[in-house]
Copies of this chain bind each other. A is one copy, B any other.
Amino acid sequence: MDALKTVKTTARPIRRATLHHSAVAELRAMILDGELPPGVRVPEVQLCEQLGISRTPLREALRVLSSEGLVELRPHRGAIVAPVDPNEIAAIFEVMDALERLAGTLACKNGLEAEFTKLDRMHDQLVAQHEAGERAAYFLTNRQIHAQIVAMARNPALEATYGGFATKILRARSLANYDAGRWQESVDEHEVFMKALRRRDAEEFGALLADHSRRTAVAVIQALQPVRAP
């Protein structure tokens, strides 16, 4: 007696089966990984055979990435991977500070108890990775922590906007090698705002997150300066 006709195979019934959607994901990853460095031209046919798809879905993907700001479309002149402009990154961080503050405040108000404890565990992991000098793992955990905070804000619009900026910032970071001294500072700041979080002090937590973001901005932009385009 099966009451259901269809079996729920997975929690998310949305299957992204279309090629153009896969192409977006693939290209985005390639751009983030630096496989497609900023400023480089994106020849359609070459990428087509590389991805094993036709031009149609690839072009659709390029339009989407353009609207995300990861590529620039120059009519009749081909697409290029969007260059990383320090001024643009600075502007993004200026907005990001405000978003971090908002995320922090809302997360404090809307987060579930289980999420707070999860955040605590993640923070412990972060500190451990810092002490162990595991740079790559640290950065990943760091991103996950901030993503978790944003998720706890329970605001899809904030999450989407934050994600878009985070992507661009991530790309800038991967270009500019991070200052070593900033690492310790950053961990300290995490310690501080986590204390505010444990007190459930929403305003203070938000303010500290914004401050953390601002300091990160300074470090990233500074590290970006020597990369002057040749």
Task: Report which A residues bind B (CB closer than 8 A).
Answer: 15-18, 20-21, 56, 59-61, 63-64, 66-69, 75-76, 88, 91-92, 94-95, 98-99, 101-102, 106, 155-158, 160-161, 165
Contacts and interface: CB of A to CB of B under 8 A. Distances in A.
Contacts of A61: 63
24 contacts: A15-B75, A16-B75, A18-B75, A20-B63, A21-B75, A56-B56, A61-B63, A63-B64, A64-B64, A64-B66, A67-B67, A69-B160, A88-B157, A91-B155, A92-B157, A94-B102, A94-B106, A94-B155, A94-B157, A94-B158, A95-B157, A98-B99, A98-B102, A161-B161
B161 A157 contact: no
Q: Secondary structure of the A side of the interface? A: helix
Contacts of A95: 99, 102, 155, 157-158, 161
A91 B59 contact: no
Identical chains bound together, number: 2
Given A17-B76, A95-B99, A98-B98, 7 more contacts: A16-B75, A64-B66, A88-B156, A94-B102, A94-B158, A95-B102, A98-B99
Max chain B C-beta neighbours (<10 A), residue from A67, A68, A95, A161: A95
Across the A-B interface, give the 7 residue pairs with the lowest CB-CB distance, nearest first: A91-B157, A92-B157, A98-B102, A91-B155, A67-B67, A98-B98, A64-B67
Nearest to A158: B95
Contact of A156 (B18, B67, B91, B102): B91
Contacts of A67: 64, 67-68
Contacts of A101: 98
Contacts of A20: 63
